[in-house]
Amino acid sequence: MAPVKNALIIGGGIGGPVAAMALRKAGIESTVYEAYDDTADGVGAMLTVAPNGLDALRIIGADKSVQAIGLPMKDLNMMDGKGRTMGAFRALAGLPPSRSVWRSDLHRALRDVATAQGVRIEYGKRLVRVDERPDGVVAFFADGSTADGNVLVGADGIHSTVRSLIDPQAPGPSTVPLLNFGAVADYSVPGAASDAVYFVFGRRAFFGYWLQPDGTTAWYANVPHHARMTAAEARRTPPSEWLRRLQEIYADDVPGRDLAGHTRADRLSAFGTNAIMPSVPHWYRDRMVLVGDSAHAPSPSSGQGASQAMESAVQLARCLRDIPDLGSAFAAYEGLRRGRVERIAARAARTNDSKSYGPVAKTMMRLMMPLATKTFLTAEKTLGPEQRYRIDWDAPVTGETPVPVPNRRT
C-alpha cells in the first residue's frame, strides 16, 4: 500500500486541528472539515489542559498559545460544604501547572495556530457518508460537496458519525447522571488562592470554583439528575429559573451560597447531563480511524478529555509517518493509546461516583481524606502516570500489539 500523502479530517473542534498540525509535521497534508458554519466562538465552559496535553501541543508548536490563554492551576483543594479542607493535591514537582481555559478560547487558539501553519479548515461541511476505494476515501457532505483523500480521520466528537461508519454496531455515549452548569460570579471568594482550584462536596451537590484575574470567580455545578438532558433541552428552562434552583441547592454551602447569590442569570450556562463513551470496540477500519472523543471521551471529571484528544492526534501522526501499511499503522496507534485512555476513563468514573455520595459516605470521605491524601492517594500516585506521560516524537514507531478491550464501567 502506498504511504499516506493526504488526510481528510472530520471535525474542527480540539482534536481535529491538532491532528492536522501533527500530520503536517509528519509530512502528510490534510484539510479539516467542520460541520458548523461558524467557529463555535463563545460556546462551551471551562476545561483543563493538563501538563501531558501541553507537552503534546509543544510537539506541534501550539503550547505557548494555549499557555497564554489559560489560568495556571497549581493546587487542587477538596473541601466540604462547611468550608473545611478534606484533602489537597499539590502540582507535581517539575511539571508546568495544568491550565484552565474556556473551551471557546482553546478552540480559537488551536484554529489560529493551525491556520498560521498552513492547515486548511472548511466550515459548513457536515460529513454524512463515505465511499471507500482501494486507494482512498471519498467523503460526502450534507451540502452536496465531496472530498477525496488517502485516509479519513474522525475527530468528530462524542456523537461521531465516523464511528458508526467504521462500525454500525458501535456503542453510543452513556449519560453521567449529573446536570452541568458553568457560571461566573461577581464575587471573589475570600481567602481563596489565585492559582488553585477548589472542589466542594456540598450538602446537596458538588461544585468547583477558581478565582479569575478580574476579581470574579468562575464556578461550575454538578447536580445529581437521573434522566438524560441534552444542552438544547436544558436551555429551554430560562437561566433565571436554573439560577433560582442552584441558589436553593447551595443555600447551606460555603461558598456555594455566595457564588450562586452573586451570579447574574446571563452569566450562567446550562449544559444538560454529561455524556461519556463506553469502550469503543473498533477504532479503525480500512482507511478510517478515530481520534479524540469519538473513540475515547472520559468524563470531564477526568480533567483529561482535551489532553487525551491531543495525545491521540500526535500519536496517530507518528504511526502514519513510520508504518507504511495502513492497517499496521492504525493497529500500532490503538496499541499506543487504548490502555492509557481506558485507565483514565475508569478513574474519572470513580470521581463521578463521589460527586453523588450521600451524607454518610460524605462524612466518611471527610474523615478519611486527610490521611488518604498523605498516604495512598497522593497526587504523584494518582495523577503522576497521567500527567508525566510524554510522547517521544523523534522515536520511530515499530508497532505494538493492541491491548484487549477491558470491561469499563460508565
Ligand X SMILES: Cc1cc2nc3c(=O)[nH]c(=O)nc-3n(C[C@H](O)[C@H](O)[C@H](O)COP(=O)(O)OP(=O)(O)OC[C@H]3O[C@@H](n4cnc5c(N)ncnc54)[C@H](O)[C@@H]3O)c2cc1C
Which positions lie near ligand X, rule CB under 6 A? 10-16, 33-36, 40, 43-45, 47, 103, 125-127, 155-157, 161, 292-293, 297, 300, 305-306, 309
Nearer to ligand X, 58 or 366 (CB): 58
Nearer to ligand X, 173 or 305 (CB): 305
Nearer to ligand X, 4 or 297 (CB): 297
Q: How far is the CB of 191 from ligand X (least distance, A)?
A: 27
Nearer to ligand X, 201 or 271 (CB): 271
Q: How far is the CB of 198 from ligand X (least distance, A)?
A: 18
Q: How far is the CB of 255 from ligand X (least distance, A)?
A: 22
Nearer to ligand X, 156 or 386 (CB): 156
Helix (H, G, I), strand (E, B) or coil at 267: strand
Does residue 33 contact residue 143 with C-beta atoms inside 8 Å? no
Q: In what order do the strands lie in the sheet with 206-211?
A: 85-90, 75-80, 196-201, 206-211, 217-224, 174-185, 263-276
Query: Which residues is 140 bridged to in the sheet?
Result: 129, 146
Nearer to ligand X, 176 or 369 (CB): 176
Q: How far is the CB of 66 from ligand X (least distance, A)?
A: 12
184 Cβ partners below 8 Å, 6+ apart? 212, 216, 217, 218, 219, 263, 267
Q: How far is the CB of 339 from ligand X (least distance, A)?
A: 19
Does residue 107 contact residue 38 with C-beta atoms inside 8 Å? no
Does residue 201 contact residue 303 with C-beta atoms inside 8 Å? no
**What is the C-alpha separation between 404 and 40, in angstroms, rounded?**
36
Q: How far is the CB of 83 from ligand X (least distance, A)?
A: 26
To 10 degrees, what angle do helices 379-387 and 51-59 make?
A: 20
Does residue 36 contact residue 121 with C-beta atoms inside 8 Å? no
Taking CA atoms, 324 is separated from 7, 104, 166, 328, in Å, by: 14, 36, 21, 8
255: left (phi over 0), alpha (psi -120 to 50) or beta: alpha
Side chain identity at residue 68, one-letter code: A
Question: Among all residues, whose Cβ is closest to ligand X?
Answer: 13
Q: How far is the CB of 384 from ligand X (least distance, A)?
A: 22
Nearer to ligand X, 202 or 305 (CB): 305
Q: Alpha helices, DSSP H only, in 198-274?
A: 231-235, 239-249, 256-261
C-beta atoms surrounding 134 within 10 Å? 7
Name the one residue in this structure whose C-alpha cell is 461577581. 186
Q: How far is the CB of 219 from ligand X (least distance, A)?
A: 13
Nearer to ligand X, 299 or 373 (CB): 299
Residues in the chain: 410
Nearer to ligand X, 156 or 334 (CB): 156
Nearer to ligand X, 19 or 323 (CB): 19
63 Cβ partners below 8 Å, 6+ apart? 54, 55, 57
